[in-house]
Structure 1
Amino acid sequence: MTDAFNTDSKLRRKLIQGLASGTALLGSGHIGSVLAQGQAPALVTSERLRPQLPGGVMSGDVSSGSKGASAIVWSRSDRPARMLVEVASNKRFANATRIEGPAAFGATGLTARVDLQGLPVGAELFYRVRFQDLVHESVYSEPLLGRLRTPSLRADKPVCFVFSGDEAGQGYGINERFGGYRLYEAMRREQPDFFIHSGDQIYADGPIQPEVKLADGTIWTNITTEAKSHVAQTLDDFRGNFAYNQLDQHKRRFASEVPFLVQWDDHEARNNWYPGQIIGPQEKRYQQREAAVLAQRARQAMLEYNPFRINREDPEQIYRSFQFGPLLDVFMLDERSYRGPNTANRQTRLDDESAFLGRAQTEWLKQSLLRSKASWKVIASDMPISLVVPDLNPDVPKGTYEGLANGDAGAPSGRELELAEILRFIKQHDIKNVVWVTADVHYAQATHYHPARARFSEFKPFWEFIGGPINAGTFGPNEVDPTFGPEVRYCSVPKNNPQSNPPTALQQYYGCARIDPRTRVMQVSLHDLDGKRLWGVTLDPEA
């Protein structure tokens, strides 16, 4: 741990200036002034009067640059209240910087955040969050504590991150008898610098019932809430889905110690949705039948309920990148907002119908990769590359595909055309050490891609690693499309694996990557529900 936060007055002034000028939630105001240094606000003793923080505290969107490091600190109140944050380089909070953050109102789902700018790099920092009641200004919540590590600008410290996705799916919610979302505790023990949540953070289309009868006759018991008793259609429904997952003690503890980088997939809104989709009459559960309306509400709730840095130029933009010093850059994709419709996915030219990332995001990714000086470039994709994912919704024709792959063993077609363009660009510009991580299919897999095995050969060999589910039914293994020369080196489930296997089958998975600062070697491993290492590989960096 560094003492730079306390001793370097220049960095301290920079932090204060950044906090005072930062952006509040969804651009709804400014962070506010830095509180005078001194004793913490006096606290009342009646718990009934205090604001409560039911979602705990979280940090996220951690990055580093020439002006120092940055991070978002997030929390949620149970009533209108103002967020107050203290940040220090020690657990005692000696010489802490105190920030008066934005107010949490109903219009923001009672969530609030501060954007910490100008933080010291390569430091372990501690933060403390409390809320001040807006009606009774002398009433404060009990403080909740969190910590985070900022990236170093030198290759002098190892970098570790974990990745997974798919949470509360197939009716499997928080079962306290089972131990809740145990995968979060296993990931916490890795002591990662950050976590990539690869999407399906919620299952807005998957109600949670009190009990689920399993195939072996046993009963899976869920914590239930009103918001999770039906499919999500209103903004409050979507907020309630995110709030549900924060009821889990393992997730709250993990979130207080490990920064999140989040993206979305389909279940944040509705299974296999795409822009412009109209839900067909076969689906009886929805009164709101425009997927775009559901997605807009889902997006707002997701941005409210995550430590997400809002883009000032486009507040709805989800794709973005993060810098972790000379060792690592991370590129978070959005494979929902700009895609064309789900079709047979066999188009012969790249256009709006065959789009997956869309033209603007594709160009952003290519140029961001080209500019990156980091040893490793990790692309976080919310869907896998070569696994065939059919759209099995009852209101779509048979032979419709949800993902990139189309099951055609020939040259790239449909959405594969966009990926081919990206891979060709990487080869043409000799961009080195690109690795893909993803989730979505509810099992773990490691896949190596090589042009010698491919129907399309204009790319450099690369790896893709799949994690998940965090807490959901287990599926797979999926059919593998050979277009880009995939070779499955590890798969966590057998060919005859029961579909939607419950978490009691212990088939929940995450990935872990560690980069050695001396050799720049990346080690990637896949782990089970309790952290057991199932498989791993050592990746030597291309010079």
Structure 2
Amino acid sequence: MSDGVVDRRTLLRAGAIGAAAAFVPAGVALARGGERPVLTHGVQSGDVTFDGGLVWTRADRPSRMLVEVSSDPSFRHARTVRGPLLTPETGGTGKVRLRGLPGGREVHYRVTAEDLDGRTRSEAVTGSFRTAPLGREDVRFVWSGDVAGQGWGSNPDLGGMPIFGAMAARRPDFFLHSGDTVYADGPLQESVVLPDGRVWRNLVTPEKLKVAETLDEYRGQFAYNLLDPQYRAFAARVPMVVQWDDHEVTNNWYPGEVLTLPQYTEKRVDVLAARAFRAFHEYQPIDPRQAVDGRVYRSFRHGRHVEVFVLDMRSYKDANTAPRDGRGVVLGDAQARWLVDALDRSSATWKVVAADLPIGLTVPDGTDIEGVANGLPGTPGGREHELAWVLGELKRRRVRNTVWLTADVHYTAAHHYSPDRAAFQDFDPFWEFVSGPLHAGAFGPNALDPTFGPEAVFVHAPPTANTSPMDGFQHFGEVEVSRDGELTVWLRDISGAALWSKTLRPQPRGGLPR
């Protein structure tokens, strides 16, 4: 099919190929019949560099991915790049890196799937992205996280997930997805009655009717978001830099955990995480070859002024049940050292650290701790030890102009950290900006832990827990770095309206940030 919305009943006929939809759900074997291949979930791009970017698609049957690329939207003088075979081994998905493109330029691409006999091709699906600039050009990007959570899925009455349209209207150079890209542990119902009597309607697929456990069920979580017309249009026009958090697997998971939840037949989180991680890499426009460990954490330069450092605070963390006052792990030694060394080496004016967990907000897991902050006053304890080492090293090496961006807690806030207010004082002041959810239940605010001296300068949170997207407490953040190096952050609502903003001026290597 093309970019239209798939009828719900067609989706629930698990695997049926209808003439109107020509669609095979992600968890079903690829089709063999029909006249020609069909690209079922549009196109995406990601991990853009100064000379190229990754392009993704999915076909309904074994076929060859072909990508035409041109600087002209009419595709005159286009060149064709042969991509991988799209087969059941990857759930029909595939991606190819386009190379040799000019820096800082709009690039148009057109994707088709060619039958294995080479005689027929799918209808083409088009997309575009802007390569990273090389010089001092302005850079604008958006960030947020948390998609289709707490029972709030793609709602046809709202046109899907409207915040993606609001982000697209900002015309960002890229989108930093801060994690919880799906809610694999959050089944959907066809309708939900709100406290005031309104009815929320969900588009539902077979894979969204239960928690994900099998590989195909995890694939179906990622495929679901791409059925949303607003998400899909956004993905075709804005390249992504994606990280993961917990809900790609299950709520608050950590390596080695064994579940006790009755809805899971597979209790070993390490088994679930391996399946989820494979589906994540199949369905997201992420290039594992860019990652330091071949998984998630990596960095991207975007012109003279911006470098983004993407963290993985999930794969290496210790148990949530670990003692709060012990010596905990959230990055792991290798990633922590990579982060400090890479920030130290960076010549970018601004070093943007994309963290999938906030630093100073206490994020509980029942009576245990899910996040970095341990919720205790005084010197660092638990996972705070690792962060204290990172911050202390940055001060010792005089690394300036770091900004931390995150999501996870389902509201938006601006936090300023200062040793003047902190129990641990061996660091330079910095800002952390929080924004979310994109399309999920709204919560908050969380309590601030005093260890690193955070101050909540701005907070926008709902009056009650799990407020639906209908009530507007959905958020994204926007960052713009001007040619002269000033960085401005806006925290925006579901319509794109600015709630708060802050402009930061860069400091020299030996100077103190404001």
TM-score, structure 1 length as denominator? 0.86
Aligned-residue offset at 1:488: 0.5
Give me the whole-angstrom Cα distance separating, in 2, the residues matched to 1:440 and 1:78. Answer: 33
Counterpart for residue 456 of structure 1: 424
Find 2:46's aligned residue among 36, 60, 65. 60
Give me the whole-angstrom Cα distance separating, in 2, the residues matched to 1:332 and 1:312. Answer: 11
1:385 aligns with 2:359: yes
Give me the whole-angstrom Cα distance separating, in 1, the residues matched to 2:267 and 2:190. Answer: 27
1:425 aligns with 2:393: yes
Amino acid at match of 1:356: V
Amino acid at match of 2:220: G
> For residues 355-370 of structure 1, what are the structure 2 equivalents within 5 Å?
355-370=329-344
Aligned-residue offset at 1:190: 0.6
- Runs of 5+ unmatched residues, structure 2: 1-32, 509-514
Counterpart for residue 49 of structure 1: 35
1:329 aligns with 2:307: yes
Give me the whole-angstrom Cα distance separating, in 2, the residues matched to 1:311 and 1:83. Answer: 20
Find 1:477's aligned residue among 445, 453, 464. 445
1:304 aligns with 2:282: yes
Q: Secondary structure of 1:169's partner? A: coil
Aligned-residue offset at 1:430: 0.8
Counterpart for residue 466 of structure 1: 434
Give me the whole-angstrom Cα distance separating, in 1, the residues matched to 2:289 and 2:334. Answer: 15
- Runs of 5+ unmatched residues, structure 1: 1-46, 393-398
Find 1:71's aligned residue among 53, 70, 92. 53
Give me the whole-angstrom Cα distance separating, in 1, the residues matched to 2:127 and 2:91. Answer: 21
Give me the whole-angstrom Cα distance separating, in 2, the residues matched to 1:439 and 1:503. Answer: 16
Find 1:162's aligned residue among 142, 150, 172. 142
Amino acid at match of 2:445: P
Counterpart for residue 118 of structure 2: 137
Amino acid at match of 1:516: S
> For residues 369-408 of structure 1, what are the structure 2 equivalents within 5 Å?
369-392=343-366, 399-408=367-376
- Give the aligned length: 476
Per-residue CA deviation, residues 272-310 of structure 1 (Å, 9 max, x unaligned), is 000000112xx1000100000000000000000011112
Give me the whole-angstrom Cα distance separating, in 2, the residues matched to 1:530 and 1:376. Answer: 28
The 1:312/1:147 distance shift into structure 2, 3 A limit, reads closer
The 1:312/1:511 distance shift into structure 2, 3 A limit, reads closer
Give me the whole-angstrom Cα distance separating, in 2, the residues matched to 1:424 and 1:348. Answer: 19
Give me the whole-angstrom Cα distance separating, in 2, the residues matched to 1:426 and 1:196. Answer: 23
Aligned-residue offset at 1:346: 2.1
Counterpart for residue 297 of structure 2: 319
Aligned-residue offset at 1:501: 0.5
Give me the whole-angstrom Cα distance separating, in 1, the residues matched to 2:323 and 2:302. Answer: 36
Aligned-residue offset at 1:81: 1.1
Give me the whole-angstrom Cα distance separating, in 2, the residues matched to 1:412 and 1:113. Answer: 43
1:540 aligns with 2:505: yes
Per-residue CA deviation, residues 208-253 of structure 1 (Å, 9 max, x unaligned), is 1101111112111100000000000000000000000100111111
Aligned-residue offset at 1:373: 0.3
Counterpart for residue 236 of structure 1: 216
Counterpart for residue 77 of structure 2: 95
Kept in 1: contact 2:291–2:297 (CA 8 A): no
Give me the whole-angstrom Cα distance separating, in 2, the residues matched to 1:207 and 1:225. Answer: 10
Counterpart for residue 270 of structure 1: 250
The 1:198/1:288 distance shift into structure 2, 3 A limit, reads same
TM-score, structure 2 length as denominator? 0.91
Counterpart for residue 101 of structure 2: 119
1:530 aligns with 2:511: no
Give me the whole-angstrom Cα distance separating, in 1, the residues matched to 2:493 and 2:501. Answer: 12
Kept in 2: contact 1:61–1:309 (CA 8 A): yes
Aligned-residue offset at 1:434: 0.2
Counterpart for residue 4 of structure 1: none
Counterpart for residue 460 of structure 2: 492
Aligned-residue offset at 1:207: 0.3
Per-residue CA deviation, residues 497-538 of structure 1 (Å, 9 max, x unaligned), is 200001111110000000001x20001001110111110001
Give me the whole-angstrom Cα distance separating, in 2, the residues matched to 1:526 and 1:344. Answer: 34
Kept in 2: contact 1:344–1:406 (CA 8 A): no
Give me the whole-angstrom Cα distance separating, in 2, the residues matched to 1:460 and 1:90. Answer: 47
Give me the whole-angstrom Cα distance separating, in 2, the residues matched to 1:214 and 1:133. Answer: 47
Kept in 2: contact 1:378–1:434 (CA 8 A): yes
Amino acid at match of 1:379: V
Q: Give the CA RMSD over aligned residues.
A: 1.4
Give me the whole-angstrom Cα distance separating, in 1, the residues matched to 2:36 and 2:293. Answer: 32
Give me the whole-angstrom Cα distance separating, in 1, the residues matched to 2:399 and 2:460. Answer: 30
Kept in 2: contact 1:276–1:291 (CA 8 A): yes
Give me the whole-angstrom Cα distance separating, in 2, the residues matched to 1:536 and 1:167. Answer: 24
Aligned-residue offset at 1:270: 0.5
Counterpart for residue 81 of structure 1: 63
Kept in 1: contact 2:159–2:229 (CA 8 A): no
Kept in 1: contact 2:291–2:298 (CA 8 A): no
Aligned-residue offset at 1:348: 3.8
The 1:267/1:210 distance shift into structure 2, 3 A limit, reads same
Kept in 2: contact 1:194–1:260 (CA 8 A): yes
Aligned-residue offset at 1:343: 2.2
